[in-house]
Structures are given as C-alpha cells and as structure tokens.
Structure 1
Amino acid sequence: MTNIRITEVFTQAMPVLEKLEEAGFEAYFVGGCVRDLLLERPIHDVDIATSAYPEEVKETFAKSIDTGIQHGTVTVLYGGSSYEITTFRTESGYQDFRRPDKVTFVQNLDEDLKRRDFTINALAMNRQGEIIDLFDGLGDLKRRVIKAVGVAEDRFHEDALRMMRAVRFMSQLSFSLEEKTRQFSIS
C-alpha cells in the first residue's frame, strides 16, 4: 500500500465514506478517480465501492437514486454533489459480450477489483489515502502501460468495448498496450 496526498475532490467526498464506515461497512474510492489522482489529471467523478448492499446504502443516506440497482449501483446526493456507490460484486456469463448475465454481491474488495478491466483502473483508496493495488497498477502507471487484469482474453470476452477503452486510454494518457493485452485486443 502507498499513501498519497488527498485532493479537494476527495476531501469533499470523504463524508460519504465516513458515513458508510460509521454504519459498519467498508468503503473505498475506486477506479478512474484513483488513477487520475495518481496521474495528477482532472477528476470528473468520484466512484465509491462498498460492502453495503444497495438497500443498505439507501438506508444510510437521505437522498439516493437507483441508478443501476440490478448491478448494485446507487447514486447518492450528498453535500451538493452526486456519488455513484456500488456494492462489491463479481460478474459472470457475458453472452452479449457487453453486460454480465449474472451479478453477485460479495463482501470482499479483492473480489471486486478482480473483475475490473485494466490494472490502472483496479486501484482503490481508503480514507487515509492508502492505495490498494493487487495487480501492480501503480507499476503500470509508472511504466505508462495499459494491461488487462488477469487474463486479457477473458476481460475482452466479458466486454468487447474494453478494446475501445484500451485505445482511448492509450490516446488520452500516451500509454502503450502491454503485449499480452495487445494480442487479444486485436485478435
């Protein structure tokens, strides 16, 4: 784990994590917002992953919207901002190569991070600014490389749009595509 300096956008979102933790749940900042913080890029939205089930998230906050409730996502309106809060989950069965046939809520951040597309997006950060990095996303940020989490072929078969996301990240970040990830993104 690595500690970093938390910026204002995270400071504003901190009460959301605190409320979830006070209610007895785990909660982390996840994904692109953590990546962009580490790259010192503008952050457009802050995503939160939690051990709380959607109904528990809704009970914890006064104002919420069922954004993607079937996939565990609730948008919470708090302090004049909105935050997507998603229950830790695993996914399986991607018959349309885009959306999972089955979503299973889990109580483990590690399982949630395993389902993500690229190592640089499979990063989480707690309230203390500690980075949770199970797949060497920090190393890939330093190497400026886009690499699939786990087996690249599996990630692209789950969601074919991940190939386009890889190209977009390469363009936006001036990163290269890791060799095994490249082999399956163009096959």
Structure 2
Amino acid sequence: MPLTPPEDPVAAGARAVVERLRAAGYAGLWAGGAVRDRVMGITPKDYDIATDAEPEEVAALFARSVPVGAQFGIIRVIHEGHEYEVARFRADGPREDARRRDFTINGLLYDPLADVLVDHVGGRADIAARTLRACGGDPEARFAEDWLRILRGVRFAARFALAIAPATWEAMRRHAPRVLEASAERQRDELARVLTGPDPQRGFALLGELALDRALVPEL
C-alpha cells in the first residue's frame, strides 16, 4: 500500500535519516505512531525510525545526536533542526519488532524510499475496522512487558474512537490494578494525555470500567 507523505520538512528529514542509514548498510523504516497517523490521514508531529544499527553506529552517521536511551537501543538524531528517535529493532528484525509493539495500530512500518507500507500485525485492517487490539496475539504478554500499556490503551481508544477487541479488553480489565506499579510520574503523564485528548469523557468512562478512576484520581 503506497503511503507517499507530503513534502513537509519533518517528513523530508525522516526520509533523509532513512536514506543515510541505508547508504551505510543498515535497515531503516518509519515505525509506530507516525505510520499510524499517515494511514488515518493525520499529519504526524514527529517520526520514529526503526533500524538494525546499534546506537553508537547511528551516532557515527550524524553530526548531532543524543543518547536518550542507549541501553534500550534508542538514540535521538537532530537533523536539519528536527529531532528523530532512532531505535534498534526490539527483536530479531522488523517482523518481530512489530509483534512486540503495544497495539496493532502502532505496529505498522513504512519504507519511505520504496513507498511501501509493511504490516506484519494486521494494523491496517484494525484501523479500517476502528479496533484496538494488542499485538502478537497475546494481550497478557504485551501488557506484562509494561503495565502502563493498559492506560495507553484507554488513551488510544478514546482518542481515535476505537472499539477494544474482546481479548484485549479482558486482559486490560484483569490486570488494570497493575498500572499502579508504574512510577507515579508515568501514571500522571499518561492520565494527562487521556484527560486532555479529544474525548476525555470516554477516556474517563473506560477508566471507571477498569476501576482505575478513583485509584488514579483519589480526590474524586
């Protein structure tokens, strides 16, 4: 599926980052929210790039970079005044990287040089069906990797008016109390995104169904 981006400076810079990675012999694909937004017809505010290069190898290719999470394979590249997060594949190659992401809508990859959407997780179909589904066919495993993904699920369902797939919702409901194991700062930041999104009423209703409303907002 072609997904040719408009010639805005941020997208052009993201393409240039991929070009430089490829020229050096590394893989490079747009990943995550930027690809999701393009499929949904939304102009992304930022771009993430997935690669098989190590952070130090990425840093050697660009004049300016910041090791924001080098221990996790993440580095921030500053190219022509714009910042791009470049992350090593989360698993062995792009297919497993996509399967290890949180939700299928965020598991899409895109090759900006060939103008090809790479969908290993059924994300395009779920976007078309307005469905939020955990990646990899195992919601329990995806949430166990980071319990805050449950709260992210609430945010995405509210923001994009998505129905939550039954198995995904059941896992969210069963493990909702474990959201409180995340740091207070991460809880606060994610809750703020829910409540300042386009449909905070639905977001808060979902929190109530998960019995997280009073836990996250004790003053209620």
Gaps of 5+ in 2: 175-220
Residue number in structure 2 paired with 1:144: 130
Tell me the distance in 2 between the aligned counterparts of 1:53 and 1:178.
35
Identity of aligned residues (%): 36
List aligned pairs for 1:168-179, cutoff 5 A.
168-179=155-166
Residue number in structure 2 paired with 1:122: 107
Tell me the distance in 2 between the aligned counterparts of 1:4 and 1:37.
7
Residue number in structure 2 paired with 1:61: 62
Q: Secondary structure at the match of 1:76?
A: strand
Tell me the distance in 1 between the aligned counterparts of 2:163 and 2:67.
37
Residue number in structure 2 paired with 1:132: 118
Tell me the distance in 2 between the aligned counterparts of 1:48 and 1:183.
31
CA drift of 1:126 comes to 0.5
Tell me the distance in 2 between the aligned counterparts of 1:124 and 1:53.
19
CA drift of 1:12 comes to 3.0
CA drift of 1:156 comes to 1.2
Gaps of 5+ in 1: 91-105
Q: What amino acid sits opposite 2:100 in the alignment?
A: R
Residue number in structure 2 paired with 1:82: 83
Q: How many residues align?
A: 170
Q: What amino acid sits opposite 1:156 in the alignment?
A: F
Tell me the distance in 2 between the aligned counterparts of 1:15 and 1:110.
23
Higher relative contact order (CA 8 A, sep 6+): 1
CA drift of 1:133 comes to 0.3
CA RMSD, aligned part only? 1.1
Residue number in structure 2 paired with 1:46: 47
Which digits, 9 at most, give the CA deviation of each residue in 1:23-47, with x for residues without a partner?
0001000000100111112312100
The answer to whether the 8 Å contact 2:50/2:89 transfers is yes
Which digits, 9 at most, give the CA deviation of each residue in 1:33-80, with x for residues without a partner?
100111112312100001111111011111110110000011011111
1:110 aligned residue (79, 95, 100) = 95
Q: Secondary structure at the match of 2:135?
A: coil
Which digits, 9 at most, give the CA deviation of each residue in 1:133-182, with x for residues without a partner?
01110000000000001201111111111111111011100011001101
- Of Structure 1 and Structure 2, the greater helix share is in 2
Larger of the two Rg values belongs to structure: 2
Residue number in structure 2 paired with 1:158: 145
